[in-house]
Structure 1
Amino acid sequence: MEKVVFALEIEDGWPPLGAEGVWCKKIGEHYQLDNIPFFIQGLAVGDLFSACPDPVNKHIFEFEVLKESGHSVISILNNIDLDLEGFLGSVKALGCSFEQFKQYSLTVIDAPPDIEIDRLNKLIDQYEDLGIDFAFPVWRFE
């Protein structure tokens, strides 16, 4: 397992960081993502991808997904400071996992391909109605 650092493109102050490190397994010359990314667009847990780290700073500027895992990534921005404990407990009960970046009121969810997507969508709808902002940087459900 190794930490792979991705350069991030900041637009209008977001994301709030210029780089994000994620854990990956090295498989031959390629990488397999092992944790949920907060800001990297287009990658989900389990994806196999190719990338060439920059020779100067070792950051990844471009990558290509070679094999999608079927996992999706959902981002939650809780700017209204709503208690998400119930929501996150329900999401976990569905088989999802999550990570939080409390400094930025950000939670990311890993949604495996075999979960009950209708139940997840209902939960998301409930919390959107309460004012929570959701984004779907990787959505692989039909």
Structure 2
Amino acid sequence: MTDETSEPQAHVIVELDVVDGWPPVASERVWAHDLGGDRYVVDNPPWFVRDLAVGDVVRAVAPGTDRHPVFVELLERSDHCTIRLVVFRAGPLGGDLARAIEPFRRLGVYAEGAGRYGMLALDVEPDAPLTDLVAVLRAGVDDGSWEYEEGRIFGAWRAATSD
């Protein structure tokens, strides 16, 4: 999550391309801090939007005074990355998102669940313990708890995941 001192003031709508039923939604709302001038800082890791992370500055324009702003473009990338997990109901955690979040919380990694889809979105800060995080992710894959994908990564993440 960003270092902003106030609560996020806006939802930014990001329209998605649905291919073969995925993602299961045509748009996603992310929390953001309004910087003014149609600029917003993303404040939560997205579940479906690719190439977007906490701390990114985006341009979004509201189609009306009573409507949420809609994403237009990425203006500045943050040093955060976004990792998404699908937690399997048939796995050892029984699809329990709270149990799936716990090992990430212990590492200081913010995780947000989308119970309807059995998913977690992780906000990985640049100073996160990447070696430990990758070990937890791989252990969950190995024991059948989840699968994960890289929504947006940075160079240190690539180095930590290369074998």
Q: Tell me the residue number matched to 2:141.
A: 128
The secondary structure found in structure 1 opposite 2:70 is: coil
Query: TM-score, with normalisation over the residues of structure 2?
Result: 0.76
Pick aligned residue for 1:10 from 15, 18, 21: 18
Asked if 1 retains the 8 angstrom alpha-carbon contact of 2:109 and 2:124, the reply is yes
Letter of the aligned partner of 1:96 in structure 2?
V
Deviant stretches of 4+, over 4 Å: 84-87
Aligned counterparts of 1:109 and 1:5: Cα–Cα separation in 2? 19
Normalising by structure 1, we get a TM-score of 0.86
**Alpha-carbon distance in 1 for matches of 2:143, 2:109:** 21
Q: 1:95 aligns with which of 84, 88, 108?
A: 108
Q: 1:110 to 1:14 in 2, by over 3 A?
A: same
Q: Determine which of 53, 56, 59 is the counterpart of 1:47.
A: 56
Task: Report if aligned partners of 1:87, 1:123 keep a CA contact under 8 Å in 2.
Answer: no
What is the aligned-residue identity percentage? 26
Q: CA RMSD in A?
A: 2.1
Secondary structure of 1:91's counterpart equals: helix
Task: Write the distance in 1 (CA, Å) between the matches of 2:71 and 2:78.
Answer: 21
Cα deviations by residue, 1:108-133 (Å, 9 ceiling, x for unpaired): 11111111100001111101112321
> 1:138–1:35: structure 2 CA closer, same or farther, 3 Å change rule?
same
1-structure distance, mates of 2:82, 2:44? 11
Aligned residue pairs total 140
- State the shift of 1:60 in Å: 2.9
CA shift for structure 1 position 53: 4.6
Q: Which runs of 5+ in 2 are unaligned?
A: 1-8, 157-163
Q: Does residue 114 in structure 1 map to residue 127 in structure 2?
A: yes
Matches for 1:7-86 after TM superposition, within 5 Å: 7-29=15-37, 30-53=39-62, 60=70, 62-64=72-74, 66-82=75-91, 83=93, 85-86=98-99
Amino acid in structure 1 at the alignment position of 2:51: G
Give, as a single letter, the amino acid of the residue that structure 2 aligns with 1:74.
I
